[in-house]
Amino acid sequence: QVQLVESGGGLAQPGGSLRLSCVASGFSLDKYNIGWFRQAPGKEREGFSCSRTYDTYYGDSVKGRFTISRDSAKNTVYLQMNNLKPEDTAVYYCAVEFGRVGDTVVAGPACEFDYWGQGTQVTVSS
């Protein structure tokens, strides 16, 4: 059974850091584009990071602050978030591009996620 399970969200102060984890099961992360998107209350989903075989995309809103990485042995993807800002407050979703049609989230010029986990809340506040 295909599954993505996120963890690591919580409350952080402005300027602080959090690391999100996403454990995949039922498939190998190495074979697909994988990344993260977020959704803040009342706002549209924002695909801000995608890890492909040869490159990684970051949206302007997170570039230089967030870093995505993979651990193939653990079939896990991470999102290191540094210098957090209140505008980073959102539910964060780990997502993968299987190439299916339907409800999708675009992340940059070359990624379109079609499957994601249940999300983890990140709140940045003093």
53 has a pLDDT exceeding 90? no
Q: How confident is the model at residue 49 (pLDDT cuts 50, 70, 90)?
A: very high
Whether the Cβ atoms of residue 3 and residue 96 lie closer than 8 Å to each other? no
Spacing of C-alpha 43 from chain mean position: 17
**At 30, is the secondary structure helix, strand, or coil?**
helix
Digit-coded pLDDT (tens) for 71-109? 999 999 999 999 999 999 999 999 999 998 899 999 999
Average of pLDDT values for 27-36?
95
Percent of the chain with pLDDT over 90: 96
Residue 119, pLDDT score: 97
- Rounded to the nearest integer, the mean pLDDT of the chain is 96
